[in-house]
Amino acid sequence: MSSAVIAPPRSSPLDAAERTEPSHLRSRSRARSVSAHIYLPACTIAVVAVVLVAIGWAAGWGRFDFAGSDTALRAVVAGPATLAILGVFLVVERVWPAQRRSIVARGYRHDLLFAVVNVIVVVPLITALTLGFLHIVETQMPWIVLPQMGALPRAAAAGLIVVAMDGCNWAVHLANHRARMLWRFHELHHSQEDLNVLSVFRTHPLIHVSYLMALIPGVVLMANGAMTITVLVVYGAIVAFAHSNTRLGFGPLERVFVSPNYHRIHHMLDGPADVNLGFALTIWDQLFRRAVFPTADTVRTDTGLAGRPLVVEQEGPRARHFAVFAAQMVAPFRPVRGAADAPPVRSRAHAAGGQER
């Protein structure tokens, strides 16, 4: 009985080429292969979020109470006062609309979905990110906390925190429009074609990683004062109203506060996306020459992203809200498709009919 001889498998020319290819070239080849399927820089945001939550959890959230902080943030986002304010804003949208929209328009329904998800899922995530970040700052950089200054009233300290926080939000907002990695998460907010007061909730959960820097002013002045839930509700109300489908300006007060007419220019379809970046205050735009004040031509302008680079609920015969929502959550990680994926940074003079100051 003859025994079979098993010959070793032949190596293909491709295998031989891989063995002879330098290791650093093989690494680059693998990186290109991965990049063809996923946008790796966006993964760093997810990694930072995981690390912050892990540090906070491992430290027992430092000196903070997670449940109490979560409850307080939930009161700001969807407490009775906030819901009452949003209800008033929704009525104002019906009375003085910038564009006529049905109360059950696709964009409105989709933003309502985001609002519900924010209350249920995103608020605990923001709480965990915030407490993890604060624990790191307070343990690694305790020197940034200013000592108590008796001459500074607590109300004045809270006011300084609000102004400084708004400045930090402005700076991060500009970065979200300049860096592709951040824009991938921020473009979702600009995809709304039915801008309304609930559009303030249309954000990717991981975008909140970038806005953690706005917590620094509160840490610096924590020994002198703090923002109450009431102050945060008022601040959030100004930000929400700025997104409303309302043809309202603030007249001379627009030199200080962001109005719906002012902020709509920031959301203009194919408009100057790197202007009017202020959250509640216009002073930062004016200081850095990025303020474009509204005119009759900009009040009723369309909003959204030119060419719809992101999946939106307005596409197709049906809204498919849950499928679109899922696609929007993974969209930041999609592979780069060229110039169409770049942040829409344009000249400030691009504001059609706007008056730059």
pLDDT in tens, 73-96: 999 999 999 999 999 999 999 999
pLDDT, tens only, 161-172: 999 999 999 999
Task: Give this prediction's pTM.
Answer: 0.86
Dihedral sign of CA atoms 160, 165, 171, 174 in order: negative
- Between 250 and 222, name the one with better pLDDT: 250
Model confidence at 243, pLDDT cuts 50, 70, 90, reads very high
Q: Is there a domain that residue 9 lies in? A: no
Q: Cα–Cα distance between 149 and 217 in angstroms, integer?
A: 15
Predicted confidence at residue 222, as pLDDT, reads 87
Q: Which of 208-212, 223-227, 259-263, 346-350 shows the lowest per-residue confidence on average (mean pLDDT)?
A: 346-350
Whole-angstrom CA distances from 291 to 148, 175, 258, 266, 354 are: 36, 16, 10, 10, 9
Q: Is there a domain that residue 30 lies in? A: no
Q: Cα–Cα distance between 302 and 320 in angstroms, integer?
A: 22
Inform me whether the pLDDT recorded for 69 exceeds 90.
yes
Inform me whether the pLDDT recorded for 26 exceeds 70.
no
Q: Is there a domain that residue 100 lies in? A: yes
* Domain enclosing residue 253, as ranges: 41-356
Judged by DSSP in three states, 163 sits in helix
Whole-angstrom CA distances from 28 to 25, 32, 35, 63 are: 5, 6, 10, 45
**Dihedral in degrees, nearest 10, Cα atoms 81, 82, 88, 92:** 150
Q: Which of 91-95, 192-196, 338-342 shows the lowest per-residue confidence on average (mean pLDDT)?
A: 338-342
* Mean pLDDT for the chain overall: 88
Q: Percent of the chain having pLDDT more than 70?
A: 85
Predicted confidence at residue 271, as pLDDT, reads 77
Q: Please, which residues have CB within 8 angstroms of residue 43's CB and are 6 or more apart in sequence?
A: 333
Residue range 134-144: average pLDDT?
A: 93
Q: Is there a domain that residue 346 lies in? A: yes
Q: Cα–Cα distance between 130 and 145 in angstroms, integer?
A: 17
Predicted confidence at residue 223, as pLDDT, reads 85
Inform me whether the pLDDT recorded for 3 exceeds 60.
no
Predicted confidence at residue 350, as pLDDT, reads 47
Helix (H) or strand (E) holding 169, with range, is: helix 154-178
Q: Is there a domain that residue 33 lies in? A: no
Q: Is there a domain that residue 240 lies in? A: yes
Q: Cα–Cα distance between 158 and 218 in angstroms, integer?
A: 8
Q: Is there a domain that residue 12 lies in? A: no
Inform me whether the pLDDT recorded for 29 exceeds 80.
no
Q: Is there a domain that residue 20 lies in? A: no
Report how many domains make up the chain: 1
pLDDT, tens only, 206-222: 999 999 999 999 999 98
**Closest by Cα among 209, 208, 216 to 141:** 216
